[in-house]
Structure 1
Amino acid sequence: MPPYYLLIFFIGAYVLTYLTIPKIIGLVEYKNLMDNPNVRSSHVKKTPTLGGVSFFYTLIFALFFLKILDGSFTEAIYFIPGLTILFIVGLKDDLVVLSPLTKLVAQLAAVSFILSHQSFQIGSLNGFLGIYDIPIFLYYVAGAFIMLTIINAYNLIDGIDGLASIVGIVILVIYTTIFYLTAEYFYVLIALALNGSLIAFLSYNLSSRRKIFMGDTGSLIVGFMISALTLKFLALSPNSYNELPFLLENAPLIAIGILIVPLFDTARVFTIRVANKKSPFSPDRNHTHHILIDSFNLSHQQASFVIGGFNLLFVVLMVILGSTSDNFYLVLFLITTIIILAYIFYRFDYSFSNIKRRILFKRKVDRLKNGVFKKKPNKPKSENVD
């Protein structure tokens, strides 16, 4: 594939997103569809949301041109129904909060289109933990579980400025590299298009003047695309792995390494909620990014780049180990890392009441710094009249 195709898809997606997000911000402000802060929020003023709308139409354009570019890219048409379902559900959830069950049913409907295409079918684990061929019904169950887990895990990390975008960019860069090395150019181009859109969105998400959130509309769409790319990565033919710098049987562990941030954070908060006898989907401020901000006094940008940097470093280590180690040592490394991370964050007081007090105090300090509470002028002393 000519290199200029890669540039066209990346730059085209970037420009389309960058030029149209201000229009979305203007419409959201005009219709007052703002995200209002609450006790769990990391922002202190009304902020425009629905930034994920730009991801939807950018991907639809990309899929259209991919189909025009090469008629053999039959996967393109299978993405559109799933994207449309999640776009509608995410949009409604941003405007009128939906129940977790409603969103789960919609996600299951969306992923069914991807699972029905044969190129995503995982027929073998290629010796991972001694497992080779797997039956087709097990693929459907495992495939649905993998995609639903990734979609919801990515949705849950969208809690502070820049985090979901930065983690998404890191993941997409890795998958772009993998699919380029294996000559899966359809997935290279679709990953580049989404990455261009995320990078353009990030500049607004981190802005202090023209800020916008991606909302559930965006996080569900990006999570869906990442889950589809993950499934395709696991479904690559054995010959494709000859071009990759790790052993064939280590692919499932490499996939976990690529998605370590959303998967670890989701497992952690779900465990805490269940231990506290709450629903796994009940909202709180127990996420890893909240702990970094509340306990280490990091800014949103600092916490986001720290987590994104960790994600990239962890993948590099997993690839290095996966090139020589067998499953046992790679699994041992992965489990050890997760235990260490879990212990480190367990040491902090993440009770909701304590974190709530910290947040309220921090906001009060911020208001004082911003001059919200101005010093009242002294009343003039009454003059004595003799």
Structure 2
Amino acid sequence: MREYTLIALVTAAVTYLLTPLVRAFALRIGAAPEIRDRDVHTVRTPRLGGLAMYAGMLAGLFVATKVAHVGATLADPRVGEGQAVIALAAAGGVIVLVGFFDDWLGMDAFVKLGGQIAAAGLLVFFKLTLLWIPLPNGETVSLDSTLTAIITILVVVVTINAVNFVDGLDGLAAGIVCISAMATFVWTIVLTYNLEQSRISVSASVTAVLIGMCLGFLPHNFHPAKIFMGDTGAMLIGLVLATSVVTVTGTIDYNAAAVDGDPVNRFPVILPILLPLAVMVLPLADLVMAVIRRTSYGRSPFAPDRGHLHHRLLEIGHSHRRTVLIMYAWTLLFAAAVVGLSVVAVPLIVFPAVVLFALVVLVMMALPRWRSGRGGGRGGGAHAAGRRPGPDPTAPEDPPVSGAAVSRASAPAG
């Protein structure tokens, strides 16, 4: 554990120390959005925080290669043919380059999608891919080279965009991804120890770097933010999170993962696929609802609007900071529950039941009309606060500013 702590601390320190320099650079080149009437922040806040996060990631990966046990594991030919560090650095470089130009000059959504696919394609090129898909009945589906490439790229691109979609409040994306990385880290450590009596794995090493990236950036990004991570950072941490999950299938012994040979508990085996869905269910749910909402009004699924979950939480009277903390707490509790279920013998049906229950609670919590109808509860709901019952989901907004303060001038600052 000391090795992982060192990796995370170095990553966090480099990210934290470089962020002010990146902020000055972003202001100099004009990579800062103009203040709008509906913004909460009152000074121009630069983007491009992802540049500092990428530098922190490179520093963390370098240190990881120099630590004896972790370095040997990262060179394991079973994962990316021993080139996991090179693969992540190269794919991260592509995604940061795309994000940089998008944050600075703006970029068409389909061009940005092409960059995401290219970054995921680099992971595939370096053999950092999903090798098989586990099934609840105890079988596995081996993937040929074509399916391996397609499914890996799909997992990476979906995770990147899920993080990007949830990045709408100061510190929200960095906090949620940090919690997700911690959940993945704990589960990987437990599983690796149970199977091999070792706590060293590629996935745990990558998540340690990701935790450091997020923790190093959060002090600058929590409300009121001094800098936004931008698409540069949001897409990068989404890529690293996806990579941490993809690397698991290269080292896990599927047959040994059953609990005492009992197929009842298949969580440890199927969690490489389910864990990102579990800990990222909040941004993924927001992503799915946004696409449905926009297309139902005849708009492009990429067209931004004001119907995100964080918009709704602000609309019903929560402050900026309270909204972020509510989403932190929800993600933490749900991730902890799923990881806990992975190490006890429970029927597989428990997992979808927990997911469904959590989604119902979250959606009901974010419905302004439901909350306002309770009549004079704490905060008074939308009507008591003098605001309309809920955000108009068809009302357009400017392209989302990653990590930015939510665009609601009427929402109280935390």
Give the TM-score, by structure 1 length.
0.83
AA matched with 2:32: M
Which one of 346, 351, 358 corresponds to residue 392 of structure 2?
351
Which one of 179, 184, 189 corresponds to residue 180 of structure 1?
189
Instruction: Look up the match of 1:374.
Output: none
Instruction: Look up the match of 1:45.
Output: 43
Instruction: Look up the match of 1:362.
Output: 410
Instruction: Look up the match of 1:195.
Output: 211
The separation in 2 between residues aligned to 1:340 and 1:76, in whole angstroms, is: 40
Instruction: Look up the match of 2:231.
Output: 216
How far is the alpha carbon of 1:320 from its aligned partner? Answer: 4.0
Gaps of 5+ in 2: 77-81, 193-198, 370-389, 398-405
How far is the alpha carbon of 1:350 from its aligned partner? Answer: 3.3
Q: How does 1:137-156 map to 2 (within 5 A)?
A: 137-156=146-165
1:34 alignment partner, SS class: coil
* C-alpha contact 1:172 1:191 (8 A) present in aligned 2: yes
The separation in 2 between residues aligned to 1:154 and 1:40, in whole angstroms, is: 23
The separation in 1 between residues aligned to 2:332 and 2:156, in whole angstroms, is: 21
Which one of 205, 222, 225 corresponds to residue 206 of structure 1?
222
Which one of 243, 247, 251 corresponds to residue 267 of structure 2?
247
My pick for the range that moved more, 271-280 or 3-12, is 3-12
Instruction: Look up the match of 2:20.
Output: 22
2:349 alignment partner, SS class: helix
Which one of 237, 260, 264 corresponds to residue 285 of structure 2?
264
Q: Alpha carbons of 1:255 and 1:352: their partners in 2 closer, same or farther (altered >3 Å)?
A: closer
The separation in 1 between residues aligned to 2:395 and 2:253, in whole angstroms, is: 51
Which one of 298, 304, 315 corresponds to residue 294 of structure 1?
315
The separation in 2 between residues aligned to 1:43 and 1:311, in whole angstroms, is: 26
Which one of 141, 147, 152 corresponds to residue 133 of structure 1?
141
The separation in 1 between residues aligned to 2:214 and 2:323, in whole angstroms, is: 18
Instruction: Look up the match of 2:306.
Output: 285
AA matched with 1:134: S
Q: Alpha carbons of 1:347 and 1:301: their partners in 2 closer, same or farther (altered >3 Å)?
A: closer
Q: Alpha carbons of 1:312 and 1:157: their partners in 2 closer, same or farther (altered >3 Å)?
A: same
The separation in 2 between residues aligned to 1:201 and 1:359, in whole angstroms, is: 22
CA offsets 1:63-94 (integer angstroms, 9 cap, x no match): 23333443525211111221111111000000
AA matched with 2:253: S
My pick for the range that moved more, 30-39 or 266-275, is 30-39
Q: Tell me the matched-pair count.
A: 359
The separation in 1 between residues aligned to 2:283 and 2:128, in whole angstroms, is: 25
Q: Alpha carbons of 1:315 and 1:243: their partners in 2 closer, same or farther (altered >3 Å)?
A: farther
Q: Alpha carbons of 1:318 and 1:189: their partners in 2 closer, same or farther (altered >3 Å)?
A: closer
Instruction: Look up the match of 1:376.
Output: none
* C-alpha contact 2:96 2:236 (8 A) present in aligned 1: yes
Percent of paired sites with the same residue: 21
Instruction: Look up the match of 2:374.
Output: none
My pick for the range that moved more, 181-190 or 47-56, is 181-190
Which one of 332, 335, 343 corresponds to residue 315 of structure 1?
335
My pick for the range that moved more, 307-316 or 212-221, is 307-316
How far is the alpha carbon of 1:360 from its aligned partner? Answer: 6.5
The separation in 1 between residues aligned to 2:33 and 2:137, in whole angstroms, is: 46
AA matched with 2:391: Y
AA matched with 2:410: K
The separation in 2 between residues aligned to 1:284 and 1:354, in whole angstroms, is: 6
* C-alpha contact 2:294 2:394 (8 A) present in aligned 1: no
Specify which structure has the higher proportion of helix: 1
The separation in 1 between residues aligned to 2:97 and 2:38, in whole angstroms, is: 25
* C-alpha contact 2:130 2:151 (8 A) present in aligned 1: no
Q: Alpha carbons of 1:56 and 1:360: their partners in 2 closer, same or farther (altered >3 Å)?
A: closer
> Which of these two proteins has the greater Rg computed from alpha carbons?
1
* C-alpha contact 2:87 2:128 (8 A) present in aligned 1: no
How far is the alpha carbon of 1:340 from its aligned partner? Answer: 4.9
Give the TM-score, by structure 2 length.
0.77
How far is the alpha carbon of 1:200 from its aligned partner? Answer: 2.0
Gaps of 5+ in 1: 367-386
The separation in 2 between residues aligned to 1:130 and 1:242, in whole angstroms, is: 9
Instruction: Look up the match of 1:332.
Output: 353
The separation in 2 between residues aligned to 1:301 and 1:240, in whole angstroms, is: 44
The separation in 1 between residues aligned to 2:256 and 2:327, in whole angstroms, is: 30
My pick for the range that moved more, 39-48 or 279-288, is 39-48
The separation in 2 between residues aligned to 1:200 and 1:80, in whole angstroms, is: 18
Q: Alpha carbons of 1:333 and 1:12: their partners in 2 closer, same or farther (altered >3 Å)?
A: closer
How far is the alpha carbon of 1:271 from its aligned partner? Answer: 1.1
CA offsets 1:29-57 (integer angstroms, 9 cap, x no match): 33433222346755343112111111111
How far is the alpha carbon of 1:361 from its aligned partner? Answer: 6.1
How far is the alpha carbon of 1:293 from its aligned partner? Answer: 1.1
1:47 alignment partner, SS class: coil
* C-alpha contact 2:304 2:396 (8 A) present in aligned 1: no
